[in-house]
Structure 1
């Protein structure tokens, strides 16, 4: 794996300067990478730029840098959201470090992150933890997305109460979007558990929209982004923030830095922002949840 990137304070120690002076050096060309609103630095690049001046104390890796043995694999766990697909494709086009995708809903992804089986996990409103174990969690914001019901364009709109008469394609209980469906069912006087027992339960938004498009279900719970891509009509239930959660101590990992750089870029914001049901304002921001 590539070297772990250093924080502003750590690179200030390398250069034997006050941390505030690092920001002055940035204006003079000090090589750095943006991670949300923070800067991260390659020790080798900075030393090459500065002529090799370093303190003996910084000849060892930074104390928070993960060893290769401790580093999680180059994988993201997410439900196949279109924003994640765009992010990974653009990151791959830049070359190594490369990352792969593990199909998982919100609950499964968070568990994989806890076990350090993945580097980052897809998460959305209601699923942004502040910590995983003793580790502080940071969030890479990608989009605000619309969640609701998809149906064939030839089908008439319906009320939540009419769902009792529909063949419904939905998601497992571990999927965070189920909370919106369950709330709508309760407001309509329907039992979410009973509806779930008779519904077609599928693992991703994509599988839901394909089931509706193929006629295996009359209505499905999915994002507008996937519904529009499958040519389906959409009725909104909620708008929510969607992004990737990761351990804050991994923010210096070059693979995370790559994802941040792509998400902050104009190309990602333009392509993902053109997808119906997405708002990319703030894409690439690093956020910390209470």
Structure 2
């Protein structure tokens, strides 16, 4: 999959989510206000924050797709992780506002009985958001994009919070009015959890954390199949947006010429690019293979 196809796929899924979220946002705000439901109104406020978060993500994707330049030799992919972190902060803020308003309503004893339109709005939101989550998550896993994955998690957060909203507004509709603000408060805790997960993953990528160990193992297994490679000394990876930057230290026959060892590294790169469409760059350091010697690379980290 080339760059144009990857970024086009990311654009499409985010645009779809953006438009559907806009419709749901207006629907829930109107249903919550006219249907006298604090839980549904809170859900609409949450969607308004999501709307802003998607705008941030779309901007980040445009920045992240820029090719490397003199000032950014590893590309601009980190913009995606930065946007995911900003999204997480917005999620936290939304949860705080919803929790505060729900607590104030319960303490003041001003709970109202919602109308049927609020119940319908919550049900429609669950169906729409869960469908969006499943579709967006498949694309995020295919692209291995932190920005798209954060949007997928945001859709799941909306679906889960709307389940709580439906329970609360449904209970209030049938006579237990306090369940409406209680559902809004419970929604806030769902939001906090998703916000933390999104923040943690974005921070991990910004700190150049390793990808899952399975990926490292798969990379080593591919290199081990190259006959000229005597030993894979080390594999390190870090994420830059949708791409992985791979650093490899390996050992080869010390009698090989520079040209021969270079040809082997080209073979390794081609194999990795073919097997992993999200690998953006591979840097290889070659050590001479000496069975009785240990290699101590100079490093200050």
TM-score, scaled to structure 1: 0.24
Q: Which has the higher helix share?
A: 2
Q: Which has the higher contact order (CA 8 A, sep 6+)?
A: 1
The structure having more radius of gyration, on CA atoms, is 2
Q: Which has the higher strand share?
A: 1
